[in-house]
Amino acid sequence: MADLLWNAGVAVVVAIDGPSGVGKSTVARAVAQRLDLAYLDTGSTYRAATLIALSNGIDVCDEDAILTELATHTIDYGAAGVEIDGVSVAPQVRTPEVTANVSAVSAHPRVRERIVAIQRDWVHRHGDAAVLEGRDIGTVVFPDAAVKVYLTARPEIRALRRAGDSEAADSSIDEIAENLAARDRADSTREASPLRPADDAEIIDTSDIGIEEVVSKIVDLATR
């Protein structure tokens, strides 16, 4: 394992937050590989909760019903991505239907508490050292993370990047940009764990720099 920053008694977590289309997944995976750490896409755990709700005909606005159903399932993250009851559902959580409803599910405070507990347990099971990407890692899930980074990019850049994703198939750049803006509003204005950079996060604009440069910046923060 790389020579990481270490705070006694605190999980060695590299928290990479930011909205969609800023390169979080690509960057986080590369950072995890460079540092020889486990990697967790926390957004996929909320997508798994959304898939569970939708698959069981539950109203995504009904927090109590969602929590009751979640209690009968296990959500985990393995080599092939997010899992429900031990089965990989990585492709299923990226469908347009899940994408359209994940903000509603993730806005529920008690659902977030349940998913955050799953995420923290996952890190603990991986030696209390991991690279996590999401929207509230540095502010809520691991506020004492050794490294906190918030990625951002100009709206047009984000829309162009998302255009290459399967879940954006058949959508125009303008439609993608509108959807991203709507998701940003929903995530940044929700009462529970709104999307925002931690006060002590390193903010990196990825609009005009390459993935390798972003990765190197984060690795430097973790090893200096």
Cα 222 from Cα 3, distance rounded (Å): 8
| DSSP string of 82-121, one letter each residue | EEETTEE-TTGGGSHHHHHHHHHHHT-HHHHHHHHHHHHH
At 98 the pLDDT is: 96
Cα 129 from Cα 133, distance rounded (Å): 13
What are the tens digits of pLDDT across the range 91-121? 999 999 999 999 999 999 999 999 999 999 9
Cα 106 from Cα 111, distance rounded (Å): 7
**Burial bucket for residue 36 (CB in 10 Å: 0-12, 13-18, 19+):** exposed
Q: Looking up tokens 């490294």, which residue turns up? A: 147
Q: Please check whether residue 111 is in contact with residue 49, taking contact to mean a CB–CB distance below 8 angstroms.
A: yes
Count of helices and strands (H, E) across the chain: 8, 8
Domain chopping of the chain, boundaries: 12-37+130-224, 41-128
| CATH class of residue range 12-37+130-224 | alpha beta
Q: Please check whether residue 132 is in contact with residue 142, taking contact to mean a CB–CB distance below 8 angstroms.
A: yes
Axis crossing angle, helix 42-55 with helix 63-70, rounded to the nearest 10: 100
| DSSP string of 158-196, one letter each residue | HHHHHTTSGGGTT--HHHHHHHHHHHHHHHHH-SSS-S-
Domains 12-37+130-224 and 41-128 belong to one CATH topology: yes
Token code pair at residue 152 = 């951002």
Q: Please check whether residue 102 is in contact with residue 50, taking contact to mean a CB–CB distance below 8 angstroms.
A: yes
Higher pLDDT: 77 or 224? It is: 77
Pairing, β 129-134 against β 202-205: unpaired
What are the tens digits of pLDDT across the range 3-13? 555 444 445 89
Q: Write the CATH number of the domain with boundaries 41-128.
A: 3.40.50.300
Lowest mean pLDDT among 64-68, 100-104, 135-139, 170-174: 170-174
Pairing, β 202-205 against β 81-84: unpaired
Q: In what order do the strands lie in the sheet with 75-78?
A: 75-78, 81-84, 87-88
What are the tens digits of pLDDT across the range 187-206? 888 777 888 899 999 999 99
Cα 115 from Cα 74, distance rounded (Å): 11
Q: Please check whether residue 11 is in contact with residue 4, taking contact to mean a CB–CB distance below 8 angstroms.
A: no
Sequence length of the chain is 224
